[in-house]
Chain A
Amino acid sequence: MTDDEPAVIRIRGAEVRLAHKTVWRHVDLDVGPGQFVAILGPNGVGKSTLLKAVLGLVPLAAGTAEVLGLPAGSANHEIGYLPQRRSFDPSLRIRGVDIVRLGLDGDRWGIPLPGRASRDARRRVGELLELVGATAYATRPIGECSGGEQQRLLIAQALARRPRLLLLDEPLDSLDLPNQASVAALVARICRDEDVTVLIVAHDVNPILGYLDRVVYLGGGGAITGDPETVINSENLTRLYGAPIEVLRTSTGRIVVVGQPESPTYHPDLAHHHDHPHVGH
Chain B
Amino acid sequence: MLATDATPQLTWDLARDVHQLFEFHFMVNAFRAGTVVAVVAAAIGWFVVLRQQTFAGHTLSVVGFPGAAGAIWLGVSATYGYFAFCIAAALVIALVPRGRGRAFSEESAVIGTIQAFALACGFLFASLYSGFLNGIDSLLFGSFLGITDGQVLTLLVVGAGALAVLIVIGRPLLFASVDADVASARGIPVRVLSVVFLVVLGVAVAEASQITGSLLVFALLVVPAAAAQRITSRPVVGFVGAIGLGLVITWLGLGLSYYADYPVGFWTTTVAFAIFLGAEIASRATRAALAARRPSPTVVGP
A residues within 8 Å of B by Cβ? 55, 57, 76-77, 81-83, 85, 88-89, 92-95, 97-99, 101-103, 105-112, 122, 125-126, 135-141, 157-158
B178 at the interface (CB under 8 A from A): yes
**B233 A95 Cβ-Cβ under 8 A:** yes
**B188 A107 Cβ-Cβ under 8 A:** yes
Assuming the contacts A107-B172, A109-B171, A137-B295, asked whether A94 and B178 have C-beta atoms less than 8 A apart, the reply is yes
Q: How far is the CB of A167 from chain B (nearest CB, A)?
A: 9
**A81 B185 Cβ-Cβ under 8 A:** yes
- List B171-229 residues whose CB lies under 8 Å from chain A: 171-172, 174-175, 178-179, 181-183, 185-188, 229
Q: How far is the CB of B178 from chain A (nearest CB, A)?
A: 6
Q: How far is the CB of B46 from chain A (nearest CB, A)?
A: 10
- Residues on A with C-beta less than 8 A from B185 are 55, 57, 76, 81, 83
Bound-state Cα–Cα, A73 to B238, Å: 36
- Residues on B with C-beta less than 8 A from A82 are 182
**B186 A107 Cβ-Cβ under 8 A:** yes
With A107-B172, A111-B171, A112-B171 known, 9 other A-B pairs at CB within 8 A are A81-B182, A92-B178, A95-B233, A101-B302, A102-B179, A107-B175, A108-B172, A125-B302, A139-B298
- Residues on A with C-beta less than 8 A from B181 are 83, 85
**B168 A99 Cβ-Cβ under 8 A:** no
**B299 A139 Cβ-Cβ under 8 A:** yes
B234 at the interface (CB under 8 A from A): yes
- Residues on A with C-beta less than 8 A from B52 are 89
**B295 A97 Cβ-Cβ under 8 A:** no
Q: Which of B168, B174, B233 contacts A141 (CB 8 A)?
A: B233
Bound-state Cα–Cα, A125 to B300, Å: 12
Q: Is the interface of B mostly helix, strand, loop or mixed?
A: helix
Bound-state Cα–Cα, A145 to B52, Å: 20
**A109 B183 Cβ-Cβ under 8 A:** no
**B172 A94 Cβ-Cβ under 8 A:** no
- Residues on A with C-beta less than 8 A from B188 are 106-107
**B233 A94 Cβ-Cβ under 8 A:** yes
Assuming the contacts A82-B182, A83-B185, A93-B50, asked whether A109 and B235 have C-beta atoms less than 8 A apart, the reply is no
Bound-state Cα–Cα, A173 to B118, Å: 46
B120 at the interface (CB under 8 A from A): no
B167 at the interface (CB under 8 A from A): yes
Bound-state Cα–Cα, A83 to B172, Å: 18
- Residues on A with C-beta less than 8 A from B301 are 122
Q: Which of A83, A95, A103 contacts B234 (CB 8 A)?
A: A95
Assuming the contacts A106-B175, A109-B168, asked whether A94 and B235 have C-beta atoms less than 8 A apart, the reply is yes
Binary CB contact string for chain B from 98 to 140 against chain A (1 if under 8 A, 0 otherwise): 0000000000000000000000000000000000000000000
Q: Which of A55, A89, A98, A110 contacts B235 (CB 8 A)?
A: A98
- Residues on A with C-beta less than 8 A from B183 are 106-107
29 contacts between A and B (CB under 8 A): A55-B185, A76-B186, A77-B187, A83-B181, A93-B50, A93-B233, A94-B174, A94-B178, A94-B235, A95-B302, A98-B234, A101-B302, A102-B178, A106-B171, A106-B186, A106-B188, A107-B172, A107-B183, A107-B186, A107-B187, A108-B171, A108-B172, A110-B171, A111-B171, A122-B302, A136-B295, A136-B297, A138-B299, A140-B233
Bound-state Cα–Cα, A135 to B295, Å: 11
B170 at the interface (CB under 8 A from A): yes
Q: How far is the CB of A127 from chain B (nearest CB, A)?
A: 13
Assuming the contacts A55-B185, A93-B229, A136-B295, asked whether A106 and B174 have C-beta atoms less than 8 A apart, the reply is yes
